[in-house]
Structure 1
Amino acid sequence: MIHTMRWFGPNDPVSLMDIRQAGCTGVVSALHQIPVGDVWSVEAIQERKSIIEAGNEEYTPLQWLVVESLPVHEHIKKGLPTRELYIENYKESLRNLAACGINTVCYNFMPVLDWSRTQLDYTLPEGHKTLRFVWEDFALFDLYILKRPNAALDYESKIQQSALSKFQSMSQDEIAVLTNTVLLGLPGSEEAFDLSIFQSLLDAYSEIGDQQLRDNLYYFVKEVAPLAQELGINLCIHPDDPPRSLLGLPRVVSTQSDFEQLMNASNVRANGITFCTGSLGVRADNDLVEIIRNYGGRIHFVHLRTTKRETGTRNFHEAPHLNGDVDMYEVVKALLEEEQKRKATDNPGQELPMRPDHGFQMLEDLHKKTYPGYSGIGRLKALAELRGLEMGIKRAHHLG
């Protein structure tokens, strides 16, 4: 696999030299400064690319290998008539990325919120800090802070009662922290949605159910995937995080069945998957190795991380990369076997770009302000573990 790390741009506290010294040759980045729905110009793409590749003559070269993410406008997700404009803009951005030599583009189709957690500094026994999702706390936010209409239908009475009891004991500061955590926007931004307008964003989906959101996704991929195929770009959708309905919003990229329907909607190789073991692994009913074996040819980008489901609850937290609910040995082995299969058939994209997704806040980074899950030392630890696992599997099974 090609080892990469995510870089949020010039303001990222983790530098490109940090990423190079971690042993990466690839960079995953995006133009977060461009409003969602606007075209990414060749000039803007080249400017970011030149920053990433500066110093390549003197040091180990870095390349901008993956865009994460080229975001999908909400009008496309909602299927509004104006989606045609935003789809055309998306196509133009793909053309410009291809002209700049970037051929892997990650996106997601989660309504309103890209990801959700309820705690950003959960402390593990080793002293690391990590991300956590607590169902009771999410219910507390939904029922008693946001006060979403009909929210009670989504929570069992026991959870409602415990959430109310906890809410009544919280200080205003604690309520503010939970609110800001739940409402964090894109990972490339530290801004949260304003609670006063958040409900209106949810209301816009009041008439959009599971099937309608699927239809809107399939319409989008039918429009853009054939062009991506012509351009030599691999589109790869990121699974829902977490992979279940939240806030009354449908989630349609959470299971193997969801992948099957999406792949069939546009049967071109460019219509592919970002294989995120952390997101998929939250659900015990997802067999990650089986997904690789069934859809390995459509996997274009890999996020390796694992979560730990907390027994008897819907809670989970980010776990050590080799010690969570994901059988990382079998997953990495299946991915390396997919690479071997590609080499044998001379398929393009033989090596999969992989990044260690999320990392603990630890050591000196405990005293730094970094993007949640994206501190430098934690991801360095994760990449070191994953590289060692990859080498061991290759040697043991003569893969590569």
Structure 2
Amino acid sequence: MLARDGLVQAGLPDNPYARQLRNGFRWLRFEKELENEFREFLSWNSLMQRRAAIGVAFLIWALFIVADWMMVDIRLHPSLFEQLLGVRLGMIGLLLVVWPAAFLPSLRKVGDAIAPYCLLLINLAVLACDVLFEWHGVPRFTQLGATLGILAVFFPLGLAFWACVRLALLCLALNLAVFLLFGGEENLRTNLLNTLYNGLVVLICSFALYLQDYAQREQFLGRRLLGMMAEQDSLTGLVNRRYYELLAQRALEQGAREEKGVALILVDVDDFKAYNDHYGHPAGDAALRQLGVVLRQGARRPLDIAARLGGEEFAVLLYDSEEGNTLAIAERLRQAVEALGIEHLGSSAGPCLTISLGVAYSTSGMGLDALYREADRALYEAKDAGRNAVRVAFRQHDRLE
């Protein structure tokens, strides 16, 4: 399975999806936030199945009406037929009421909430029909109604595995209770045998649903993980260059619409080649991971972005950030990296690993390439000033002392 094979062994960054794959989920439960995300995913993906289920249910209840008309002698048992017809039409009415929740995405959450109750009502309706047959002393022409009701519980309607199992066991218990209360002693053996068969149906369907739910959860984690791997830098967990360019372009376009400015902070690790040569690439990777943690603190708002552009070059894009606030963030990042105290004896800027930062602000009509060039020019000014400094395009800002 995926959780035991290639992806988990691929040196993945630490994220909720990878952790869940490593930890496993034999009880079909994720961590709380991840479980909520999976339920949301399951809800959206079950819309088509709900629509199909309602169509099938319409057909089944209509066929029950036809079967009642054909098998019940209306001349001898007119009240039985009328009562059965009332139950069948009541279920068709229920399906009409819940129909919008399956076809309108805006009512999707309503469908999530009422699905188990609808399934329970369907099973109760089936049992009510069985009771009516017993009350009128008319032999039931089929024993499959309760079985069909239990099978409906396991239809893929977006319910989680344990919810389906609990509901199926409740329906089975109600089935047994009805048989014991209304079935009569003469039918006791047959009714108990039917309950046993329905119990086997629950067991088989539960096993099949377990395998399906496990595979679905595994695919969910795998797809989310692959999506993150396509969008994130595997070493630092920051946004990668390709995804950064997409998000940054969207931010610039939104800023143009809302007349908001966008600030770009380019970050470069000072003398990083010398660091790798002296301490080795594993130490360099560890240093970049620590740097990624620091830079992530500078991009806390929803539209802010922290990205690794490649090698030791990083970017922090800030949406609707004033000049003073942007400079303060850049300086805090510089100080935070210096405060890590990562030894770098080969640095020309000091005994510890440091960064240089170049800041640029978007102007009306400025594209992403132009913004990058301005920030890159400011970054070179910071390098020329002795490194471990912040510089702004078209301005000179010595680092704060």
Give the TM-score normalised by structure 1: 0.23
Which structure carries more strand by proportion? 1
Which structure carries more helix by proportion? 2
Comparing both chains, which one has the higher relative contact order based on Cα–Cα distances under 8 Å and sequence gaps of 6 or more?
1
The structure with the largest alpha-carbon Rg is 2
